[in-house]
Structures are given as structure tokens and as C-alpha cells.
Amino acid sequence: MRPPAMKPLTLMGLLTAILLTAVSLYAVEDIPAFGDEDSAVNKYIKLFSIDSDARLVDNLNAGILPDEIRNKIYDLGFIKGPTCPGCQDENYPSLAEGNYKIEFIKKGTWLGGRLYTKDGWDVLIHEGEIFYNEPQQYYFISEANGGLSVYRYNWPVRVTEKTEEETFIINAVTSGLADYRGYDTMGEETVILTGAIGVILLLRRRGRL
Amino acid sequence: MTPKKPYKRDVIIEVTTNLMFPLTLLFGLYVMIGTGGTGGGFQGGTILASTFILYITVHGHVKGREKMPESVNALFKSLGLFLYNGAGWICILFSLAGAQWLNMPAFWPVTDFVGVAGSRSFLVGYMVSVGIGLTVMASFVSQYFDLAWKEDEEMESGE
């Protein structure tokens, strides 16, 4: 049997397919490269900065978190400090002695899926911590202009702190769903539509539309 | 021609459903569009779909077709995805291909009036969420219609 001649509808379908392919290529071109320092995942948020001091720097180089920084972090409420002398911290991962380790990282290092854009000390959760088996990036401290700035890596904390500034949406869940992860949600919606079309093709008989 | 019902008519259930129908639709719309508070497209669409499913369950699929005709259903199904992708397209078109896909503040006609924050919330709240909601609602209702037909045919052939 000879194939039928190309109808206007078929031509429209071909044009739509070409257009969709072009859009897909355009969208893929736009996705930031993995490890891009400006992409949302790789940024960390600045918590506070304190005046630098030779003693603090020596402490950090020796692998000890100074009490000034630790108390400031406790004040922010991410970790509750010990309620009595000699107790453990209230929630995990804690900043008690032996639960973390400090390493100096040079600018331009590629580590843990992140590109370091400044020199600084990385506070890692230690291997022996109760809930984390591997060392994890936790806090980042860098020295600049005579001050020590403390940053925190954490995706949920980053979203809750920065969502209004970056996306102008009050609701952090909606901004995550429709803005930070917009491509993902588009795929989910397409999956639902495809499922409905599949049910139509399987169950619906001809002439019942 | 009114179709013969295989079950006994229950006035209480039918009247309650008729009363609930607009209110549940309104609640579904509130959840779907109220992105400043709780909810969003998926939840709102599911509530809207449950409204129609309740109506079809009580009144049968022939009367349910009057509330949700097949043409409207098919339109909603594709229009939802079209709105979502359209929000991304608008950003490219109105910035003359300067902005990225789904880069909301590039939507300058709205940005001029209500500012960057307003345009972003407008696109996410009204185009993206409503798009998701329409697709979810129409897909679920269409699947329910198909299953109701199937059951009806089996009952007919059994008699």
C-alpha cells in the first residue's frame, strides 16, 4: 500500500515536532553547568562575621572551633547548646568537641561537588558522629578585611533564608516547586497528562468520544 | 431520554451532592490559586477532580457529562501544560530571548505595573499553578469517566 499524501495536519505536526526539539535544545543549553558557583545549589549563606584575631586564627589552624563562633551559632538557633555543664548538645549534628574537624581549603579547590571561591576553613562533621557516617560539609569560615565570616552549607536553610530575596515569593514551598525546580515540575505534569492519554488509549472504544 | 438507573434513587444523597458541588469547587479554586498560603496546583487540582468524581458517582456518567463535556475535558488537559510552558515562553519572548526559560522577572508588561515581585508571584501563582491544577483535574476526571463506561458496558453485557 502506498503511503498517503502529506496532509496539512501532518505538516503542522512535523512543524510542531521541529519547534519542540528546538525548545528542548534551548532549555538544555540554559541549564547551569554542574558545579557552577552561581547556581543555587552551590551557594552557601552568610550567617554573621566577627572581628578577626590572631588567637582565633591559631585556634582554627589547630582544629579547634573558638567559643566566640560556637556561641554565636548557638544563639542563631540552628543547634541548641548544652543545657547543663558537661551535657551533650540538644540536636544533631552537634558542635561538641570531637564531633567536627576543621580543614583549611585553598581557593579554587573542587571538593564535594562544590567549587571553593575563597580561602577558608571548612568545618566538617566528623566521621564518628552519631548520625553521619561520612565527613560532611557543615560550616565554612573565611577571613577577609580583618573579620571572620561564617557561612553555612545547607539546602533547606538556604531556601528558607533566601527565597524571598531571590524569587520574591513568600511561600518557600511554592518557590521550590515552581521556581528552583521548575523543570522537574513540568516533567511531573507531563507524566500525569501522559498517564491520562494512556488510559484513554487502553479503555476507550472507537466512536465513544 | 433519561437513562434507566440500575439502582434506587436516593434524594438525600443527590441533594447533598448538589449543595456541595459549588462549594467544593470554590474550595478547590482557593487551594489552587492561594499560593501565598497553603496548597498549590497539584492539591487544588485533586480537590477539583474529587468534586466531579463525587458528582459522577451520584448522578451517573451520562448526567456527569453535562457538567464536564468531553471537549472541555480534552481542552483543559492540554491547556494546563500549555499554560505552564507558556509561562516559560513568555519570559523568552518578552525579553527578546535575553532571559532564560522560566526566568519570571523578565515579563516586563507586568513588571512595569506591579514590580518584579508582583510579576514573579503573578506568573507562579496564576499561570504555573493554574496550569498544573487544570491538567491534574482533567486527567483524573477523564480516567474516572473511562472506568465508569467500562463498568456500565460489563453490566449491560451481563444482563
Q: How far is residue A138's CA from residue A105's CA, in Å, rounded to a whole number?
A: 14
Grade residue A206 by pLDDT with cuts at 50, 70 and 90.
low
Q: Does the structure show a pLDDT above 70 at A192? A: yes
CA distance A193 to chain B (A): 6
User: Is A1 within a domain?
Assistant: no
A118 and A191 fall within a common domain = no
Instruction: Tell me which residue range forms the domain holding A82.
Output: 42-153
Cβ contacts (< 8 Å) between A171 and chain B: which residues? 35-37
A65 and A145 fall within a common domain = yes
Q: SS3 string of chain A? A: CCCCCCCHHHHHHHHHHHHHHHHHHHHHHHCCCCCCCCCHHHCCEEEEEEECCHHHHHHHHCCCCCHHHHHHHHHHCCCCCCCCCCCCCCCCCCCCCCCEEEEEECCCCEECCEECCCCEEEEEECCCCCCCCCCEEEEEEEEECCEEEEEECCHHHHHHHHHHHHHCCCCHHHHHHHHHCHHHHHHHHHHHHHHHHHHHHHHCCCCCC
Q: How far is residue A136's CA from residue A92's CA, in Å, rounded to a whole number?
A: 13
A47 and A149 fall within a common domain = yes
User: Is A80 within a domain?
Assistant: yes
The complex's ipTM?
A: 0.83
B121 and A CB contact within 8 Å = yes
A102 and A117 fall within a common domain = yes
Radius of gyration for the alpha carbons in chain A, expressed in angstroms and rounded:
26
User: Is A77 within a domain?
Assistant: yes
**pTM over the 0.95 mark:** no
Q: How far is residue B90's CA from residue A53's CA, in Å, rounded to a whole number?
A: 52
Domain count, chain A: 2
* Residue A161: predicted pLDDT: 72
Q: What is the pLDDT of residues A52-108, one digit of tens each?
A: 888 888 888 888 888 888 888 888 877 777 777 777 777 767 777 777 888 888 887
The structural domains of chain B, with segments of one domain joined by +, span 11-158
**Closest alpha carbon within chain B to A28:** B101
Contact A189 B84 (CB under 8 A): yes
A174 and A163 fall within a common domain = yes
A114 and A163 fall within a common domain = no
Q: How many helices (H) and strands (E) does chain B have?
A: 6, 0
Which among A82, A91, A79 is positioned nearest to A152, based on CA atoms? A79
A96 and A171 fall within a common domain = no
A131 and A160 fall within a common domain = no
